[in-house]
Structure 1
Amino acid sequence: MDFSTVELGADELAFRGGVRSFLATHVTDDVRRRDRETGDNFDEGVHLAMGADGWLAAELDTPEQGGLTRVQRRIWDLEKRRAHVPWVTWGTTIIVSKSVEQFGSPELREEVLPRVRSGEVRLCLGYTEPEGGSDVATSKTRAVRDGDQWIINGSKMFTTGAHNCQYAFLITNTDPEARKHKSLTMFLVPLDTPGIEIQGLRTVDGDRTNIVYYTDVRIDDRYRLGAVNNGWSVLMEPLSIEHGALAAAPDGLADVSVMVHQGTMMAVAADRIAAVAARPGPDGRRLLDDGATSYRLGRSIARIEAALSAPAMFGRVAIAQAMRDVSPELMDLLGAAAALPVDAEGAIDAGGAEYLYRWAPLCGIYGGTLEVFRNLIAQHVLGLGRPHYAPAVAAKAG
């Protein structure tokens, strides 16, 4: 793993200046405040400005197609994080648009992809069901063929961004008699279709997600992606991207793991708390002057650094677990004032520790629970057997 600094040339420095200018113009304090209040992690004005200015197309295209170079892409990603750009809906849109390009009909590609590039169309993930947990292959949402149309009935949980999107990348069951991985068909469902109801859910960290109900929803067959009952093949790459199971980029310019964004937010919160701990109080003493405090803070920061350095799926697990372990420690170091949220009068660290504490449980279930990823590592990396979840059978009395 190469941690050396990339030296930027004159063109790249100029590019970074342009990025910062664009973001400073559009990602204002009002945008960030509104995002905190709504929990949407999306701002349509910012997104449409990115489309109009060509940033979305540049992200989608390869360098050979006129898109961002590898160094430019890294600058763009880092500057978006520093500016706290509301980003989640664009993340799902990128994942789904690749599947539309690969598996969609020419008519569907023409309907969707140009407007993805302009920012007018956003795409969300319709995987999880109320009773399905992390196993998306157990889909009970049914799609039944009716001539050149399909009728869809069911519901999906945690469809983040659905209220700001135009299509859902929906996994359905089209053959209840088949084995679960051979019974699935994927659709790109227009969310303005009659029979679709989107209900908002606020999670403990303040973000908004949705439950989406599909009641006798009729869509044309042209919205199908891939072959009937071959949805698992369509879903494999998007799931791998969401799980962070992709190979590392050889140039070292990609994120080390898929949750580096969350890990970086944790590191920023820890830095703020370290600055508070180093500040003299009214009696001239600092929190850091206490040996137990400095030890616990140092241990937390070391844990964060180790998690940020862990690659691929290992990093996903390490960051999410570190956040669960470190966030209560950081709050405890600061005392009662750390329980005040951002923008609250008297919040000792601008609300960073309090938000981290609420966010930590969710980071352990995004895209699958920590237990799921630990099992994947055990099976596919360590070569251990499949987990056995059946209850133990009591021995019969002799």
Structure 2
Amino acid sequence: MDFSRITLEDATKAFWKEVRAFCAEHVTEEVLEEERRTGAGFNEALHFALAERGWLTPDWPVEDGGAALDPLRHQILVTELRRSNAPLIVAGTTVLTTIGVRDFADEALKADVLRKVASGHVRICLGYTEPDTGSDLAGVRTRATRDGNEWVISGQKMFTTGAQVCQYSFLLARSNPDAPKHRGLTMFLVPLDRAGVQITGIGTLGGERTNFVYYDDVRIGDDHRLGPADEGWAVLSGTLGAEHGTNRRGRLGLREPDESYVSTTRELLGAVSEWARDTRDEHGRRVLDDPFARVRLAEVALDVEVSGLVTGPSGRILSSELLIRDAADLLDLVGPAGLVQHGERGAVADGFPEYAHRYAQGTAIYGGSTDIHRNMIAERYLGLPRSTPKG
């Protein structure tokens, strides 16, 4: 493995400057404040600005609305967007689901949806989780009943992030209740403007907005079915693999959980380091002059560097667990003032330590829990037997 320093060509350096300038112009303090207030993971102006440059679908061909970026430029784009804390959750779920649309959708639907995804006019959320089925997706109970050339969808989904600003749900439903668990499932692209769809917001500990989505006898045409009936698990596999980082197609999307978590840890380290430089104890000494404080900051700095080098399922696990640990350690270093929330008098770094600690807790389950990723590593990479649920 070659660990030598990469020398960038002048054109690549110019692209990097272009991306940084874009982030400075479009990921403004107003955008970040809106995200702190709403937790939507989406900003319309930013979304369309990315689409205008082909950066929503950066590795798609230009003729398909993309930017045809090579892997290095794509990584530069993703890295800078993450460092700027751009709200991209909805952009990520949208492009992620285009794997299933591209491979399995009706030709007319595929052409229409992919074109509008690239232009920013179509956004897609993930219709997986239900109140009684979290990590066990094959246990979904939302029903899809065929009625001639239509399907009737009935049931509910939860933790459907972005549904309030999306046009479609990439939805898994049970179409054959008599089939074995992983069979009898069908994937659909369900328009969210249909009669019978109701979206209700859910607030989370980390401040994000997610949703319940209720489907009350929602009728859709058979042309919105993705792949063969009762074979939805095969359709879902490509998208799940990309989300979990187990296949290369995951680079289609902007959403890389490990990069986001590392970015949060890095920002938290910077905020607490600045606080330590500017804050003095009861003896008039800077907090940063305390060797114990410097060691704790240095340990977090090492965590940032190490977790930023690990990718795939391992990176997903490491970046989440280090963020959870480091957020707690730095909050402890700051003390009671670190618990003051954004917008309140006396908040350290405008409340970022308090926010980061809350946000960190949910990272253990976002995009599939860390335990699921451990099982994937064990089974797919190490060849160990499949885990057997207890009970």
What's the TM-score, normalizing by structure 1? 0.89
Identity %: 39
Once residues 196 and 114 of structure 1 are traced to their aligned partners in structure 2, the CA distance between those partners, rounded to angstroms, is: 25
Moved more, 337-346 or 240-249: 240-249
Give deviations 1:5-39, integer Å, cap 9, x for gaps. Answer: 43333222332333333333333222221121111
Ranges in structure 1 where 5+ consecutive residues have no aligned partner: 392-398
Alignment of 1:124-273 (within 5 A): 124-246=125-247, 258-273=257-272
Quick check: 1:327 aligned with 2:346?
no
Deviates more, 1:308-317 or 1:116-125: 308-317
Structure 2 residue aligned with 1:371 = 371
The alpha-carbon deviation at position 90 of structure 1 amounts to: 0.6
**Structure-2 change in CA distance of 1:6 and 1:350 (3 Å):** farther
- Amino acid of the residue matched to residue 266 of structure 1? T
CA distance in 2, matches of 1:26, 1:293: 36
Shifted more, 228-237 versus 78-87: the winner is: 78-87
**Consecutive aligned runs of 4 or more in structure 1 exceeding 6 Å deviation:** 62-65
The residue number in structure 1 matching 2:46 is 46
SS of the residue 2:190 aligns to? strand
Judge which range, 313-322 or 239-248, deviates more. 239-248
Give the Cα–Cα distance (whole angstroms) in 1 for the partners of residues 39 and 311 of structure 2: 29
What code does the residue aligned with 2:45 have? G
**Equivalent-residue separation in structure 1 for 2:100 and 2:277 (angstroms):** 50
Structure 2 distance, partners of 1:82, 1:308, is 12
Q: How many residues align?
A: 387
Please say if residues 12 and 73 of structure 2, whose CA atoms lie closer than 8 Å, have aligned partners that are also in contact.
yes
Which residue in 1 is equivalent to 2:13? 13
After superposition, the Cα gap between the structure-2 partners of 1:55 and 1:367, relative to the gap in structure 1 and judged at 3 Å, is closer
Distance 2:311 2:118 in 1: 30
Deviates more, 1:240-249 or 1:78-87: 240-249
What letter corresponds to residue 269 of structure 2 in structure 1?
Answer: A
Write out aligned runs for 1:297-312 (5 A): 297-312=297-312
In 1, distance between residues paired with 2:157 and 2:220? Answer: 17
Counterpart-to-counterpart distance in 2, 1:334 and 1:107: 57
Counterpart in the other structure of 2:276: 277
Instruction: Give the stretch that moved more between structures: 10-19 or 31-40.
Output: 10-19
Alpha-carbon contact 1:57-1:118 (below 8 Å) kept: no
Unaligned runs of 5+ in 2: none
**Structure-1 residue corresponding to 2:388:** 388
Check 1:62–1:114 CA distance in 2 against 1; reply closer, same or farther (3 A cut): closer
Q: 3-state DSSP class of the match of 1:60?
A: coil
Residues 280/343 of structure 1: CA separation in 2 closer, same or farther (3 Å cut): closer
How far off is 1:2 after superposition?
5.0
What CA distance in whole angstroms lies between the structure 2 residues aligned with 1:385 and 1:22? 48
CA separation of 1:334/1:155 partners in 2, compared to 1, >3 Å: closer, same or farther?
same
State the distance in 1 between where 2:78 and 2:312 align: 18
The residue type equivalent to 2:236 in the other structure is L
Structure 1 residues 34 and 3: CA distance shift in structure 2, 3 A: farther
In the aligned structure 1, how far is the partner of 2:277 from the partner of 2:150? Answer: 65
Q: Tell me how far apart the structure 2 counterparts of residues 2 and 370 of structure 1 sit (CA, whole Å).
A: 29
SS at match of 1:180: coil
Secondary structure of the 2:182 match is helix
Report the more deviating stretch, 229-238 or 71-80.
71-80
Inter-CA distance 306–143: structure 2 relative to 1 (3 Å threshold): same
Question: 2:26 & 2:270 partners in 1: Cα distance?
Answer: 27
Cα shift at 1:57: 4.8
Distance in 1 separating the partners of 2:5 and 2:125: 35
The two structures, once aligned, show a CA RMSD in angstroms of 2.6
Aligned to 1:352: 352
State how far apart, in whole Å, the 2-side matches of 1:341 and 1:360 are: 15
Question: 2:292 maps to what in 1?
Answer: 292
- Structure 2 counterpart of 1:69: 70
| Counterparts of 1:2 and 1:121, CA distance in 2 | 41
Q: Which residue of 2 aligns with 1:395?
A: none
Pick 1 or 2: higher relative contact order, CA cutoff 8 A, min separation 6.
2
What SS is found at the alignment partner of 1:259?
A: helix
Contact 1:186–1:234 (CA under 8 A) maintained in structure 2: yes
After superposition, the C-alpha distances for 1:160-202 in whole angstroms (9 at most, x for unaligned) are 0011100000001111111111111100000001100000001
Amino acid at match of 1:150: W
Superposed, 1:18-29 pairs within 5 Å as: 18-29=18-29
Contact 2:189/2:224, CA 8 A, preserved across alignment: yes
